[in-house]
Amino acid sequence: MRKLFLIVSFCISTIGVYAQSIINETESGDGEAVAMQTPIAIIPQPVSLMKKSGTFTLPENIVIQAQKSGDLKQSIAFLSDRITTATGKFVSTANSAAHPTIKLILNTQDDTQLGNEGYKLNVNPTQIVITANKPAGIFWGVQSLVQLFPAEIESKEVVKNIKWQAPCVDVIDYPKLGWRGLMFDVARHFFTKDEVKRFVDDMVRYKFNLLHLHLTDDEGWRIEIKGLPKLTEVGAWSVKKVGTFGDFTPPTADEPRSYGGFYTQEDIKEIVQYAQERFVNILPEIDVPGHSLAAIASYPELSCTADAVNYKVRSGEKIMDWSRGAPPLALVDNTLCPANEKVYVFLDTVITQVAKLFPFEYIHMGGDEAPHNFWEKNDQVKQLMQREGLKTIPQVQAYFEKRVEQIVVSKGKKFMGWDEILEGGVSPTASVMSWRGLKYGIEASKNKHNVVMSPTDFAYLDYMQADVITEPKVYASLRLNKTYQFNPIPASADPKYIIGAQANLWTEQIFNFRQVQYMIWPRAFAISESVWSPIEKKNWTNFVDRTEQHFERLDLAETKYSAAIYDPSITVRRTPDKQLMIELTPEIDGLDIYYSFDNSTPDRFYPKYTAAITPPKDASMLRIISYKGKQVVGRLISLPITDLQKRAR
């Protein structure tokens, strides 16, 4: 019987024919919308989902029963809020009830299949039951349950004339990885405490459980450290600039340094508690020895360079020369001095307080992109190399990293750094976050280092997600279909040491929280499925169908997202006879692309793209737009022919 269940479940999930009763505009006799059939759209994809006959309908009075309600208060609160806000129905809770609407049950004896975060969700015509070993499992089960109801459940106000139904299903679900993270860079641009909380609210909807906070960089020091007041008096503030980060003119002396902010230690405690209540751990990052200009502007004695007394917190002006690749050539010395004992005293103070504020077992200490050109010329560094028998500058950084790890470990924490810490030799107990592709994570796992995979190839959400003419310009692109190919446990790695994976959002080009959301969603859908769902469940076509349904949910939740999947990739080349050829490649099936060369705005009655096109001799502009049937779905994209000619060169 069990074998039959698994075979049927696999077949259903493979072909993607999940039927769910949801609502359309046709009304029944009582004025409520009538249910129709559409695919079930849970993200991330559950391990097992069996569709049963029938639907569950929310009654006017809903009773949530939880025998250990104290342990499940966050799940109860989340579910009650979603139901009450969108439906207007009355929700009550009870430790026991004759006929509860929704039962939340913690197993008295662990189900080994579920682990600490798995759950079982059973939706029947008259009752919903979620069971799990731990409160986290109940919470994730609640997220899946909410996704079974009509999209209007995400509304921030009562939606009338809806029959609030969910399909009857049996779900068995548990995560592939224990570390399922999103990194939020709050250093390049400061985001408020409430915005960080909103970030947590958004991420838990899709079962992320790790928030990596990038707290320090050249552009700002964002955490209060008692006894080092200049870190936030000086290091948290820059000159406000708007435009293209990295190309800003250097600030003048009279421009006010009033842009930025920081979190007090009380703010941090509040954020940590808020995240913990939602089963999210927070990994703090203090990025050293590079990316440290904000700290050096606050305390110049931490630098090897005498001119550091004149340094200021970066406001987006150019401070690195990347022409030769990484590590870059520093135009100003943004590194802490590895040969200065004051640096290690400073870091001891910082790490002591960070360790007390963040209960998570790891502290991330950066280690990436540290320029070495100032070290190479410095007498203190040369003396350190002679004294310690160091032959190369990478060994100097390894010396620094090992000393920093000793401080971290002395506070009862585990040390983690970006994969550059592998260069020059690293402590066997160091953990590695692999960002320069998968290869460094694979290498680290084979050498028995714990690894978190966050490769640029798949997981850098600051990258452009459509054509450069439609996006704030960044140095690389990452479309949704590429993100969906992420496999955090590559075949050549030792899976025992791959403890997790995450996507990273750097915010150099992100000036406000709405743009944060736009850059994350829907690519974080793809990451959530990569870190939660079995790899054999991944199916691009089915994922796109579910993503489109979640666009409606994000609209109702007033969460910004990118609809770049409807915009084609634009490739330009020249034929041997110098003709310009333009190819438009849809990212998803079912799109029709229409275009014009006459400066007018195309619609579906214009020429339809079927093969590579050549601009007419005197044309100055190509405009394109995407349709699904008769519905406009893509953005109007206007491409000057001169721009396309430059691309071809």
Say if CB 538 and CB 517 are below 8 A apart.
no
3-state secondary structure 443-495: HHHHCCCCEEECCHHHHECCCECCCHHHCCCCCCECCHHHHCCCCCCCCCCCH
DSSP single-letter state for residue 566: G
Query: Any idea which residue has 């493979």 for tokens?
Result: 14
CA 525 to each of CA 105, 207, 370, 404, 590: distance values in angstroms, whole numbers, following the listed order:
28, 10, 32, 35, 21
Using CA atoms, how far apart are residues 214 and 209, in angstroms rounded to an integer? 16
Whether 364 is catalytic is no
Task: Count CA atoms within 13 Å of residue 261 on its CB side.
Answer: 10
For residue 433, the tally of other CB atoms under 10 A from its CB is 31
* Nearest one of 215, 188, 420 to 319, comparing CA atoms: 188
DSSP single-letter state for residue 301: G
Whether 369 is catalytic is yes
Query: At 181, which amino acid appears?
Result: G
Q: Which of 217, 218, 317, 508 is catalytic?
A: 217
Using CA atoms, how far apart are residues 244 and 248, in angstroms rounded to an integer? 7
Whether 291 is catalytic is yes
Say if CB 231 and CB 239 are below 8 A apart.
no
How far does the chain reach from its first CA to its final CA, in angstroms? Answer: 63
Q: Which of 189, 212, 214, 291 is catalytic?
A: 291
Say if CB 340 and CB 380 are below 8 A apart.
yes
For residue 333, the tally of other CB atoms under 10 A from its CB is 24
* Nearest one of 47, 46, 76, 52 to 147, comparing CA atoms: 46
Phi-psi region of 227 (alpha: psi -120 to 50; beta: other; left: phi over 0): left
* Nearest one of 207, 353, 379, 219 to 280, comparing CA atoms: 207
Q: Which of 255, 368, 369, 583 is catalytic?
A: 369
Query: At 170, which amino acid appears?
Result: D
Say if CB 515 and CB 561 are below 8 A apart.
no
Say if CB 533 and CB 542 are below 8 A apart.
no
Residues with catalytic annotation? 217, 291, 369
